[in-house]
Copies of this chain bind each other. A is one copy, B any other.
């Protein structure tokens, strides 16, 4: 069942840019900080003025994943579903910070923009308490992250539903920063699974994370939701792209024990306990970390110089991504640019260190394997590029 769609077409048709060209155009002109090639912007130590230290302040949120929780809440009355959205918003920051080596202490804050009529006090309380509970759990697992407050704005003229955003701050020693400069030719790439259940998790994860959820929601869910909850989609989107899937939230996801709702709402896994241990025990081996968030498997292209990323031994595709592909007919090339497709965290290391790192990772009950390697760029001027092998077919990517 393949629909006719141009590459990157379906994502763009819903008003979302997978490559964020416009945003990068505006931001790339700004000062790029102390380590321009690092995964997050790193600035001098504004906060305490120590020349040996630096600061990170990072913002991200749960994006449109909140809308799936909203649908679930409206259908079932279960406000506790928003606890997962709190986790999504936190992890989208925390796991970006991990990629520069910031494993805590981290100071955290959250912002909710809501339509108070549709997103009520009960839902809000779950979001706020969910934040606190997830941070407490992270602290149990050795991640020093503390909430310093939050803000809720009633902006019913701007949204019919809710956005959930967070900001995370760290002060780091400059010599501890993972700068991205060590992502060079000649390394192994370890992928750490986004699916399954880690020793520090209470239930299995579909692997979905918090990227590509606009697409996943519309592709999987039935037009029933468009008719019943018109507040959950952009009226300017062509109807054929709005909730055009076959499923209701309670339906079983093919190839899985989860419902479609459970799979779509799986809270984004944090890799913080794993990365903290890797950096503590094998600091020399960890040459680079890439969080495959916005941009999916193409995220790596922005890091390192003159690198040809070769991902030719990817992990098995979790069912959620198979199903999205099947019902949408999205091209495989676009699928890998929108979704993490099985691993959301990459560790770049010398080939000879891979086994040691894999053993540590697997100690957390999470699947991991060498999914590829880096070599010299074959492009003119040494431009970074990526060759990703999907079922024997090579897909090519560059910025």
- Enumerate chain A interface residues (CB-CB to B < 8 A): 14-17, 20, 22-23, 25-27, 30, 33, 40-41, 43, 46-49, 55-61, 63-64, 66-67, 105-111, 113, 115-118, 120-121, 124-125, 128-129, 132, 144, 146-163, 165, 167, 169-171, 214, 217, 232-237
Contact = CB atoms under 8 A, between A and B. Distances in A.
Contacts of A22: 116, 120-121, 124
A149 B26 contact: no
Contacts of A128: 26-27, 30
Contacts of A43: 107, 146, 148-149
Nearest to A67: B157
A236 B117 CA distance: 8
Nearest to A49: B105
Contacts of A20: 152, 154
Contacts of A27: 128, 150, 152
A26 B129 contact: yes
B46 A47 contact: no
A362 B86 CA distance: 46
Contacts of A105: 46-47, 49
20 contacts: A23-B121, A23-B124, A30-B128, A33-B149, A47-B105, A47-B107, A47-B169, A55-B148, A57-B149, A61-B111, A63-B153, A64-B158, A67-B157, A67-B158, A111-B165, A156-B236, A156-B237, A157-B234, A160-B235, A160-B236
A159 B195 CA distance: 30
Given A33-B149, A64-B157, 18 more contacts: A15-B116, A25-B125, A26-B129, A43-B148, A47-B105, A47-B169, A47-B171, A56-B148, A59-B149, A64-B158, A66-B158, A67-B157, A111-B167, A113-B163, A117-B236, A156-B236, A157-B237, A158-B160
